[in-house]
């Protein structure tokens, strides 16, 4: 049975950047290929999933509680048009990235992964983290290529509840 209440959450991220003017998911916040990965918490019994789930734009992710005594069901969808890239002026400020419409489950513990892109200061071209130029070390992303040095570190995120409404079933 689907849970009758839905909540709207805003995923906000903050990072510290050095030598980087923009940081965003590859293809932008509203990219249809970017997967938002996170754990979920059941609204009925508060059980937190052990594994992460992945949701992309245009997808309705059906969720089921893993607690044998609960058996709650719900879904999560993404709402585009409410996020943006992190710019150098946002250094260490939370910036909205994506909205999540959640029924019966709440998002928790966002995982950054490696499907991100950064624009270096004084350059126009975007550099994808999946390219072998970037090195992941202790939660930081470092670039050393052709004399350029840049890093993105202190990656942090928060899911903020911004709306609660009752759905008509």
pLDDT of res. 100: 96
pLDDT of res. 91: 76
Pull the structure tokens for residue 97. Answer: 């990235």
Q: Bridge partners of 11? A: 98, 159
* 50 Cβ contact list (under 8 Å, min separation 6): 39, 66
Residue 166 lies in a domain: no
Residue 169 lies in a domain: no
Burial class of 122 by CB neighbour count within 10 A (0 to 12, 13 to 18, 19+):
exposed
**What does the pLDDT look like over 17-42, one tens digit per residue?**
888 889 999 899 999 999 999 999 99
Low-confidence ranges of the chain (pLDDT < 70): 1-4, 123-148, 164-169
pLDDT of res. 151: 81
Residue 133 lies in a domain: yes
**Residue 61 belongs to domain spanning:** 5-160
pLDDT of res. 153: 84
Residue 168 lies in a domain: no
- How far is residue 64's CA from residue 74's CA, in Å, rounded to a whole number? 7
For the chain, the domain total comes to 1
pLDDT of res. 92: 81
Residue 16 lies in a domain: yes
- How far is residue 118's CA from residue 69's CA, in Å, rounded to a whole number? 45
Catalogue the E-assigned strands of 85-128: 86-87, 95-103, 105-111, 116-120, 126-128
**What does the pLDDT look like over 144-163, one tens digit per residue?**
556 667 788 888 999 999 97
Residue 83 lies in a domain: yes
Q: What is the pTM of this model?
A: 0.85
């Amino acid at each position: 049975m689907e849970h009758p209440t839905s909540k709207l959450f805003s995923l906000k991220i903050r990072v510290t950047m050095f030598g980087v003017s923009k940081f965003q998911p590859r293809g932008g916040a509203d990219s249809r290929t970017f997967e938002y990965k996170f754990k979920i918490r059941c609204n009925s019994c508060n059980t937190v999933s052990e594994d992460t789930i992945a949701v992309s734009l245009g997808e309705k992710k059906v969720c089921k509680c893993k607690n044998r005594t609960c058996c709650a069901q719900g879904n999560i969808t993404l709402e585009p048009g409410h996020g943006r890239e992190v710019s150098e002026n946002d250094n260490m400020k939370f910036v909205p990235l994506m909205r999540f419409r959640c029924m019966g489950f709440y998002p928790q513990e966002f995982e950054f992964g490696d499907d991100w892109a950064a624009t270096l200061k004084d350059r126009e071209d975007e550099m994808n983290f999946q390219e072998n130029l970037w090195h992941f070390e202790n939660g930081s992303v470092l670039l050393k290529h052709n004399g350029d040095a840049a890093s993105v570190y202190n990656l942090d995120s928060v899911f903020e509840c911004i709306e609660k409404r009752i759905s008509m079933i």
